[in-house]
Structure 1
Amino acid sequence: MTNDHVIVLPGGGYTRISDNESAPIVAWLESLGMSASYFAYPVNTRHPAVLEAVRGEIRARRDAGADRIALLGFSAGGHAAGHAALAPGASARERVDLVMLCYPVVSMMLPTHQVSRETLLGRDATPEQRVATSLDLLVTPDAPPFFVWHTAEDDAVPVQHSYLLGMALAGAGVRHALHVFARGGHGLNLARDAGGARQWTDLCAAWLREEGWLP
């Protein structure tokens, strides 16, 4: 039997760590019978500090006995999760086996979510820096499976971010699920009172079962 662990990366625009996307998410995962923890990655700091910190947390969980590691990220934490999974240069101990992204920041080329981009890269980020931190431009055929969800009404991190990632995953032949719900704004976390978006936890649990992470 494998020893699996999920690292939760809350959102917060790279300026703070969101409380409602941390402990409540760990509690939900544990209710499914999974081992989980949330990681308070460094904020208000420039790239590559976050990437290096997340990779360090992955190594620590492997040293603690985890055979398989998944990342679950929200908004800017979704960017941090996707970046750790897709950026080149990861060692074997730093590679992740599964990724779940909730209304993620994906592209640093789009004009939207400016606060995440400027906090991570600065206002004078070069085109090369923006390309190197855009998840959709980092997808390769050996990327791990992805589960992604977003809402069409999200005006903080528009749904185009997830569409770009979905297209890149499809183009590279990476196994993935992409769900877009018609209603709901940004920062829904468990989305218990958010109409159709409340389905995301059941859909994610079903996907985890299909991927062999739940019985």
Structure 2
Amino acid sequence: MSAGDLVIVLPGGGYGTHAPHEAEPVAEWLEGLGVAASVFRYPVATRHPGPLNAVRAEVRRARAAGATRVALLGFSAGGHAAGMAALAPTAAPDERVDAAILCYPVVSMQLATHAGSRQNLLGDAPTDSERAATSLDRLVTPQAPPFFVWHTVADRAVPVEHSYLLGSALAAAGVPHELHVFPDGVHGIGFGADVPGANAWPRLCADWLERGGWVT
């Protein structure tokens, strides 16, 4: 990795809490690969754009501390927060995200599924424009950074349709990305150590990071 590379981990929790198994254990795994990593617990139970602004501030802080490249790795709602920071317009140069890793992410606020994340982020009655403006697949442009995304078909809480929407948008915009869909594994499996198929995602992600120069 370059001396100035950093991956910031954003745990999931439906924008209402933070899942412990998607936080420090993930940063420790990255550190074991030789990737500098930190955990950021963005605000929860806070309306948009509070979480987005907080993640952007954390990226700015990392750059001010010497990071030249910053990647975000997020799970579920944390994946949504990571995607928003990577894709939402009007980011300042020091808020730039250089890569994004999304694990069973919430992508669309226009789908009926995972209403809890939407309610925590947008309130009880968001407008159509608010839902569209916070749907990652609607924000993809050719200038988006590379993405690594994985999901499972068996996920009922955040169906795999979310990742398919994002993958389709990334492909249409010509954005470099890798999308893995595994048959088994419920939502929130983290490393998925006991789930055949899904337990391959850490190795696949490590290979992707290595090809991007994030791993020595």
* SS at 1:203 equivalent: helix
Q: Which runs of 5 or more structure 2 residues have no equivalent in the other structure?
A: none
Deviations along 1:167-207, one digit per CA (max 9) or x if unpaired, are 00000000000000011110011111111100000000001
Does 2:181 correspond to 1:180?
yes
Residue 138 of structure 1 corresponds to which residue in structure 2?
A: 139
Q: Size of the alignment, in residue pairs? A: 215
Deviation at 1:134, TM superposition (A): 0.1
Matched, 1:12 2:13: yes
2:38 aligned with 1:41, yes or no?
A: no
Q: List gaps (5 residues or longer) in structure 1.
A: none
Aligned partner of 2:77 in structure 1 is 76
In structure 1, how many angstroms separate the alpha carbons of the residues matched to 2:193 and 2:29? 12
Q: What CA RMSD, in Å, does the superposition of the two structures yield over aligned residues?
A: 0.6
CA displacement at 1:2 relative to structure 2: 4.0
- Given that residues 2 and 68 in structure 1 are in contact (C-alpha distance below 8 angstroms), is that contact kept between their aligned partners in structure 2? no
Deviations 1:122-166 (A, max 9, x none): 111000000000000000000000000000000000000000000
1:57-102 CA distances to partner (integer Å, 9 max, x unpaired)?
Answer: 0000001100100000000000000000000010000011000000
Provide TM-score, normalisation by structure 2.
Answer: 0.98
Query: Which residue number corresponds to residue 190 of structure 1?
Result: 191
Q: Secondary structure at the match of 1:195?
A: coil
1:61 is matched with which residue?
62
Partner of 2:26: 25
**Residue in structure 1 matched with residue 215 of structure 2 by the alignment:** 214
Using the size of structure 1 for normalisation, the TM-score is 0.99
Following TM superposition, where does structure 1 have runs of at least 4 consecutive aligned residues deviating by more than 4 angstroms? Answer: none
